[in-house]
């Protein structure tokens, strides 16, 4: 069954969607959309370093994404607005990454594959990494769900309940770095944030509780992955962007439906 | 031992000392109110008690196993976060629906279980916050300007609710407020804060203290101003804000 490249691609897409959905909800609730972008852009530098040092791309991408996320957390609130800081770090990391790649003369790499993903080339090993990473992220978030939610609502409330918001933020950052690293192959660096945010945003109008929103987002993400691949196959379009397009269409549909259902509120 | 013991606490943000040498204790079942002008360190003190702000000097000790119910000053729920009142009530601990309904009933807002938090009015929202803080039978309730955004009848009713809670559950209450006349009469003890503890005692004692009147003027004393007390503590302190006690004398 795994011999079919379309089956492998679908499984990869669904795996990433499952990890991205609950994490994406927190990204949306905490207004961290650009944080996701920045972490993802930094990952290209991780890819370049991994290739230069001949180590696993997953490890390199996780490491750099994590360093990036920690740097942002550390620098936040020191004179620059968050969006400025993220803009500076995200785009410089991407630029340094692209320049670093050009030094790798001995190795032929397809840069486009990392910028836009190459889900159709997913191997059995890749699948193992993606599902392993996704399981880790889902487990991490499920384990810390309640403290994360409390921290998101109000930090003082979290402290008073014996929760350390800084620790929860760190867990979220770690989960983000892992998700970015496993998603590189599927949608590429430039579209990872879309896979985080769009399904979560689409689920908003259908959900009444945080848990429902995460589950609906997972379903929307998985449907987008499978349907997007189908679209790519039928119309011969690029796979990663097609997945994001399907998610965007679902978002538009559900939002319109949600507004109507709530009488314009 | 006391529920909360604050011992010689000083808090600094950078080079700015916001609290210096604060010592206080909260005993079981008492209502203690902290009053003070803006920037007097009221919120910093509460944050130090819950552990959100690290002391620079001194320490905060909580009775082992102390259960804290916390009602924040304001709680903004992002529009992208759907959450029903019922789910919010069980935010930090699992609660069953009956306890949840009973707590809302006691807080004066029954029938809200299925509503979205974002659809509540300001008064309903504060009462749900109070109900959530009470649901696990705390030993002490901490309120940080919990009546912000409520009108006067609304906040008077809210404080009445708090007295009822104390009577019914015996839990201690430590609250911050700047609604002096409403709060003072409902308190057992008032601590007047302005970077340091200016004066403390029963509402009557504090209302007539020169330090208090220097900060808030004489008008707020009202009937309480009948009481006088001798005030002889030393006001030679090292931090940089200054307030003139002579002004009101």
The angle, 0 to 180 degrees and rounded to 10, between the axes of the packed helices A33-53 and A165-187 is: 60
Which of A28, A155, A157, A207 has the most B C-beta neighbours within 10 Å, making it the best mutation to test the interface with B?
A157
Distances from the Cα of B198 to the Cα of A235, B55, B194, B220, B248, angstroms: 76, 20, 6, 17, 15
Does pTM top 0.95 for this prediction? Answer: no
Taking a C-beta distance cutoff of 8 angstroms, is the pair B169, B134 a contact?
A: yes
Q: What is the pLDDT of residues B35-88, one digit of tens each?
A: 888 888 888 999 999 999 889 999 999 999 899 999 988 788 888 999 999 999
Whether B186 has a pLDDT exceeding 80, the answer reads no
- A156 vs B contacts (CB less than 8 Å): 47, 50, 52, 70, 72, 144
Q: What is the pLDDT of residues A243-263, one digit of tens each?
A: 999 999 999 999 888 766 554
Query: In chain A, what percentage of residues exceed pLDDT 90?
Result: 45
A165: Cβ contacts below 8 Å, ≥ 6 apart: A151, A155, A158, A159
- Cα–Cα distance, B68 to B4 (Å, whole number): 10
For B43, list phi and psi in degrees, rounded to 5.
-65, -35
Q: What is the pLDDT of residues A58-106, one digit of tens each?
A: 888 889 888 887 888 777 767 778 788 888 888 888 898 888 888 876 6
Question: Do residue B82 and residue A208 have CB atoms under 8 angstroms apart?
Answer: yes
∠ CA A52-A55-A60, nearest 5°, is 85
Q: What is the ipTM of this complex?
A: 0.83
- Cα–Cα distance, A58 to A166 (Å, whole number): 26
pLDDT on residue B230: 39
Taking a C-beta distance cutoff of 8 angstroms, is the pair B71, B148 a contact?
A: no
Which H/E stretch holds residue B59? Answer: strand B57-62
Length of chain B: 249
- A161 vs B contacts (CB less than 8 Å): 68, 70, 92
CB contact residues (below 8 A), chain B span 135-164, against chain A: 142, 144
Distances from the Cα of A264 to the Cα of A29, A187, A251, B70, B186, angstroms: 21, 34, 17, 35, 44
Token pair in block for residue A198: 């769009």
CB-based burial label for B2 (10 Å; 0-12, 13-18, 19+): middle
């Amino acid at each position: 069954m795994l011999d079919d490249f379309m089956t492998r691609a679908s499984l990869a897409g669904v795996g990433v969607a499952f990890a991205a959905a609950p994490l994406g909800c927190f990204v949306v609730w905490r207004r961290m959309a650009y944080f996701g972008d920045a972490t993802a852009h930094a990952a290209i530098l991780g890819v370049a370093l991994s290739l230069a040092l001949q180590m696993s791309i997953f490890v390199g991408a996780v490491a750099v994404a994590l360093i990036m996320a920690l740097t942002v957390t550390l620098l936040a609130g020191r004179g620059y607005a968050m969006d400025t800081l993220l803009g500076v770090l995200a785009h410089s990391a991407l630029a340094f990454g692209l320049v670093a790649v050009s030094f790798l003369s001995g190795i032929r790499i397809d840069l486009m594959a990392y910028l836009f993903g190459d889900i159709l080339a997913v191997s059995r090993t890749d699948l193992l990494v993606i599902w392993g990473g996704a399981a880790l992220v889902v487990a991490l978030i499920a384990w810390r769900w309640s403290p994360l939610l409390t921290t998101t609502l109000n930090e003082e409330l979290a402290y008073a309940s014996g929760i350390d918001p800084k620790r929860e933020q760190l867990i979220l950052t770690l989960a983000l770095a892992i998700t970015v690293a496993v998603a590189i192959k599927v949608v590429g660096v430039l579209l990872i944030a879309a896979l985080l945010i769009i399904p979560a945003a689409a689920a908003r109008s259908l959900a009444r509780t945080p848990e429902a929103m995460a589950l609906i987002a997972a379903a929307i993400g998985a449907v987008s992955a499978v349907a997007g691949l189908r679209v790519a196959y039928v119309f011969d379009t690029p796979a990663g962007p097609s997945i994001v397009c399907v998610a965007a269409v679902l978002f538009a549909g559900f939002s319109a439906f949600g507004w109507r259902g709530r009488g314009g509120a | 031992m006391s529920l909360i013991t604050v011992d010689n606490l000083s808090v600094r943000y950078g080079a700015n000392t916001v609290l210096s040498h604060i010592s206080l204790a909260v005993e079981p079942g008492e209502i203690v109110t902290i009053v003070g002008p803006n920037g007097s360190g009221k919120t910093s003190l509460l944050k130090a008690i819950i552990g959100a702000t690290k002391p620079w000097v001194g320490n905060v000790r909580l009775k082992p196993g102390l259960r804290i119910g916390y009602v924040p000053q304001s709680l903004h729920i992002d529009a992208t976060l759907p959450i029903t009142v019922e789910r919010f009530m069980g935010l930090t601990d699992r609660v069953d629906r009956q306890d949840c309904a009973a707590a809302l009933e006691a807080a004066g807002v029954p029938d809200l279980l299925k509503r979205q938090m974002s659809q509540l009015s300001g008064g309903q929202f504060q009462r749900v916050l109070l109900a959530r803080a009470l649901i696990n039978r705390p030993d002490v309730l901490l309120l940080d300007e919990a009546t912000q955004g409520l009108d006067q009848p609304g906040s008077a009713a809210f404080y009445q609710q708090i007295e009822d809670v104390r009577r019914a559950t015996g839990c201690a209450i430590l609250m911050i407020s700047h609604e002096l006349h409403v709060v003072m009469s409902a308190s057992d003890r008032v601590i007047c804060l302005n970077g340091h503890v200016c004066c403390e005692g029963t509402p009557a004692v504090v209302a007539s203290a020169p330090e208090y009147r220097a900060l808030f003027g004489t008008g707020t004393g009202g009937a309480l101003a009948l009481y006088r007390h001798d005030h002889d503590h030393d006001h030679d302190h090292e931090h940089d804000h200054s307030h003139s006690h002579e002004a009101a004398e």
